[in-house]
Amino acid sequence: MNIDISEEAGVRYLHFGSSWVQGAMRIARPFALELDYTREMMVPLLLHGDDWPRKILQIGLGAASVTKFLYRHRPQAKLTVVEIEPRVAAAARQFFKLPEDEQRIDIRYGDGADFVIASKQRYDLILVDGFDADARTGRLDTLPFYLDCRARLADDGLLCVNLLSRRKDFGKSVKRLEEAFEGRAIAFPSCDSGNAIALGAVGGSPAPTLDELKAAAKRLKQESGLNLLPTLARLAQSRHLAGGTLQL
């Protein structure tokens, strides 16, 4: 696999041997989230207080955008990141300002599905964003994998997955999530990029109202600069906020 770096209009991009973007960083704001789908992967932060999450498992490092955002804006959190390709981590450090902090960012090299099977930890938040150069997910989009993730979640834990909504089997991916989480799974309306973020929740997760979500989004925007209000506006038009409460 080739790892390539490009720059345009003040933004640095990560590619895996093709024009398809695997990650991005605005050079002037290295801890901000440049791509829409990475912003939407932060929606779980709206469902809990500022002291959540404390233990995070991230599968797929990419340009480390999500890692850096959580590192900066959730200082109580410890992140375990599983990356199958060591050269991706090297590129994240060299070109995308991934912090060197072994106390809070634990990089593991290997297959994410194997790691989840072997892990004895329970995580508040599991983030899955793993694709190869041909946009294939392999075992990271299967029912056994989603069931393994659910088993590794804390009582109020959430799984957040980046899916490609333009793929023919996108609906099957959502159904697998729904089966693994016994119906407690949703997929957001997709971004312009063709990415769709899906969430799976275990039994102890809250069911906030739209007003509560908006208030949390305003706090997050004030604290971090991340504006999830447009995402909530799109979500409000979907069946997932029927009756003004998030159906998750």
- Is residue 247 in a domain? no
For residue 73, what are the domain limits?
A: 36-225
**CATH for 51:** 3.40.50.150
Per-residue pLDDT of the chain (248 residues; tens, 9 = 90+): 789 999 999 999 999 887 788 899 999 999 999 999 999 999 999 999 999 999 999 999 999 999 999 999 999 999 999 999 999 999 999 999 999 999 999 999 999 999 999 999 999 999 999 765 555 667 888 999 999 999 999 999 999 999 876 666 678 989 999 999 999 999 886 666 678 899 999 976 667 899 999 999 999 999 999 999 999 988 888 778 777 888 78
Residue 130's contacts (CB-CB under 8 Å, 6 or more residues apart) are 59, 60, 84, 112, 137, 138, 140
101 included as an active-site residue: no
- Is residue 133 in a domain? yes
Residue 5 host element (H or E): strand 4-8
Kindly report the number of other CB atoms within 10 A of residue 171's CB atom: 11
Amino acid at 139: R
- Is residue 231 in a domain? no
- Is residue 243 in a domain? no
- Is residue 54 in a domain? yes
- Is residue 30 in a domain? no
Active-site residue identified among 124, 129, 141, 148: 129
Query: Using an 8 Å Cβ cutoff, are 235 and 46 in contact?
Result: no
Burial string for 55-66 (b: 16+ CB within 10 Å, else e) reads: bbbbbbbbbbbb
- Is residue 93 in a domain? yes
Distance, CA of 72 to CA of 201 (rounded, Å): 25
Distance, CA of 167 to CA of 194 (rounded, Å): 9
Residue 234 host element (H or E): helix 229-236
Token pair belonging to 189: 């309306």
As for how many domains the chain has, the answer is: 1
- Is residue 4 in a domain? no
